[in-house]
Amino acid sequence: MIYLNGKFMSIEEACIPVLDRGFIFGDGVYEVIPAYSRRPFRLTEHLSRLQHSLDGIRLKNPFSNEEWKNLLEQVIAKNDPEDQYLYLHITRGVAKRDHAFPINVPPTVFIMSNSLLPPPGELLSSGASAVTALDNRWIRCDVKAISLLPNVLLRQLAVDGHALETILLRDGFLTEGAASNIFIVKNQVLLAPPKSHLMLPGITYDVVLELAAANQISLEIREISEREVRTADEILLTSSTKEVMPITLLDDKPVGTGKPGDMFFQLHALYQQYKTTHMRGLPADNVKT
Ligand code: PMP
């Protein structure tokens, strides 16, 4: 069951007019929120990122956080899986084709749910491969915009190279993955690129930084050069659906030993523990610093 503009229906029944500005211009934003044991994960953080994206495209938030929570809970309840990921999508509505914003047009609001499966065990035990590419996206990558053509083309490079992800480099520095954030490890120090308009502020990225800080893991948040990426001991990928994953092959060359490293195993275990705390509805006091 999905939600579209005030109604719940099956995905087959859901239709939008061809003049929807999401369809015509990619004029909208989205969020992806995991729900474990039917509890939305880091909901406040996801909703504040949604607000940031809406502000970035000057679109009024159609709902309060309480209303979003309510709607998302209804979508979760109407779908079978215990673990789901919710996809929510807001466009600037339906109007005669004209680049300028339409006046007094209600936004289109769409929410769907899919089952959320943990990443396959073999990817965690042997690691995944990635390719690199020039980050040729726009310079508001902090906005989770539905116009994802560059990300689609960049991710396809990974598929073409039988890899899981494309790691993006802009002006000689690491930004993120085509649909993930990227960390590296050098000499037991976890390195993360600083948040900026050139990357999406990942919710999983924040969880990993909090876990590292709360568990005395050496951490540096700073620009990471292409050379540092290519000579890293470990590369880690994070996203809401992939959680924490090791990248062990980069452009067909082994990363470090070519096997998932200690930092991956430690952060992966901490992340699973954090998820369990969340699923039981307990405060994550052991994590927040
Ligand atoms: N960067 C990009 C470009 C993404 O599409 C995603 C996935 N939504 C991420 C980073 C990871 O963000 P999150 O941890 O919130 O899923």
Q: Which residues line ligand 1 (CB under 6 A)?
A: 32, 176, 179-181, 200, 202-205, 238-240
For a substitution probing ligand 1, which of 200, 207, 271 has the most ligand atoms within 8 Å of its CB?
200
| pLDDT at residue 127 tops 60 | yes
Query: What is residue 281's predicted lDDT score, i.e. its pLDDT?
Result: 75
Cα of 98 to ligand 1 centre, how many Å?
30
Q: Write out the catalytic residue numbers.
A: 144
For a substitution probing ligand 1, which of 30, 137, 181, 197 has the most ligand atoms within 8 Å of its CB?
181
Rounded mean pLDDT of 170-188? Answer: 98
Cα 37 to Cα 34: distance, rounded to the nearest angstrom = 10
Cα of 182 to ligand 1 centre, how many Å?
10
CATH architecture of 2-115: 2-Layer Sandwich (3.30)
Tokens of 164: 């899981």
Tokens of 39: 């509890």
Query: What is residue 278's predicted lDDT score, i.e. its pLDDT?
Result: 82
Cα of 248 to ligand 1 centre, how many Å?
20
Where do the domains of the chain lie? 2-115, 121-279
For a substitution probing ligand 1, which of 180, 183, 198 has the most ligand atoms within 8 Å of its CB?
180
- The span from the first CA to the last CA of the chain, in angstroms, equals 38
Ligand 1 atom closest to Cα of residue 207: 14
DSSP string, 266-281: HHHHHHHHHHHHHHTT
User: Tokens 């994953």 map to which residue?
Assistant: 245
Q: What percent of the chain has pLDDT over 70?
A: 97
Query: What is residue 275's predicted lDDT score, i.e. its pLDDT?
Result: 93
Could you tell me if 3 and 73 are in contact, meaning their C-beta atoms sit under 8 angstroms apart?
no
Residue 253 Cα to chain centre, angstroms: 26
Cα of 240 to ligand 1 centre, how many Å?
7
Cα 184 to Cα 230: distance, rounded to the nearest angstrom = 10
Q: Which residue has the higher pLDDT, 279 or 268?
A: 268
Superfamily of 121-279 according to CATH: D-amino Acid Aminotransferase, subunit A, domain 2 (3.20.10.10)
Cα 75 to Cα 232: distance, rounded to the nearest angstrom = 42
Is 94 strand, coil or helix?
strand
Question: For the chain, how many helices (H) and strands (E)?
Answer: 8, 15
Nearest 10 degrees: CA dihedral of 208, 36, 127, 217?
20
**C-beta atoms surrounding 102 within 10 Å:** 15
Cα of 50 to ligand 1 centre, how many Å?
12
| pLDDT at residue 286 tops 60 | no
What is the pTM for the complete model shown? 0.96
In order of 138, 153, 173, 178, 206, the CA distances from 135 in angstroms are 9, 11, 10, 9, 22
